[in-house]
Homo-oligomer: A and B are copies of this chain.
């Protein structure tokens, strides 16, 4: 027990609470921390996450103990879909809470070779893992934001030549069932492939001129609206047994406007 000159320090957080209101989430956010992330192939990658951790708070307790959240992240050796389920259960237990959630966002880096010359470098994919623990069991959502090239089908069709293109981002958020099924998780490489297949062209960190020629013509051969991208990714994912649902959001940094175009579709296994 914490004492000063022999007297215990008051534990204000544990004092009685009379307003009778249970809180859904109490915790910390904006905590940056280095983490090692385990990829689907078992390799581990060092990166930096931003973490948000919280627990529910019963209606008769005044406050939670914030320092324990930081200690939990400090002790987390490795982040992976299955590790997240263990971490959030541990959090609920340490904080004696009915519900808990752990939400970590971080870039992962995928080595990617240019399509013709094979010159390679790393592409950053923003990922997010959100694990929840509660009376109804545990759940895990996995997100990846994939950059793509999109070329406008309308612009191509109505113009005598050329078509406008732009950078877009496909954010796939999947309700992951793989950890429950004991299978490998649907992890960034797989989501990257699904989005690349739907895009006008994949995005690469390094392109030499022969590669640039290739992706320029590829994009013109495969025009796609944000609506097309969202639907093609949805078609590819809805037969995936390792996920129970998804939300797909496609955002285009329109090259002919100073605002974005977007499309979103949600789906859940019934």
Binding site for B on A (CB under 8 A): 2, 4, 9-13, 17, 19, 21-34, 45-48, 54, 57, 62-64, 66-67, 70-71, 73-74, 107, 109, 119-124, 147, 149, 151-155, 157-167, 201, 203-210, 212-213, 215-217, 219-220, 225-228, 230-232, 234-235, 251, 253-266
Contact = CB atoms under 8 A, between A and B. Distances in A.
A30 B64 contact: no
Given A161-B217, A259-B30, A154 B121 contact: no
B263 A25 contact: yes
A162 B213 contact: no
Nearest to A149: B255
Given A164-B216, A212-B256, 18 more contacts: A4-B213, A11-B209, A21-B230, A23-B264, A25-B262, A25-B264, A62-B228, A74-B206, A123-B258, A149-B256, A154-B212, A155-B213, A159-B213, A161-B217, A164-B215, A166-B253, A204-B257, A205-B258
A73 B124 CA distance: 14
B251 A10 contact: no
A239 to B, nearest CB: 13
The quantity of this chain's copies bound in the complex is 4
Contact of A155 (B33, B212, B232): B212
Residues of A contacting B: mostly? mixed
A28 B262 contact: yes
Contacts of A24: 264-266
Contacts of A71: 119, 121, 206
A118 to B, nearest CB: 13
Given A258-B203, A262-B27, A21 B234 contact: yes
Contact of A67 (B206, B213, B253): B206
Contact of A166 (B11, B166, B206, B213): B166
A230 B54 CA distance: 15
B32 A265 contact: no
13 contacts: A4-B210, A12-B153, A23-B227, A29-B262, A33-B124, A63-B153, A71-B206, A74-B122, A149-B256, A159-B216, A161-B217, A162-B217, A167-B253
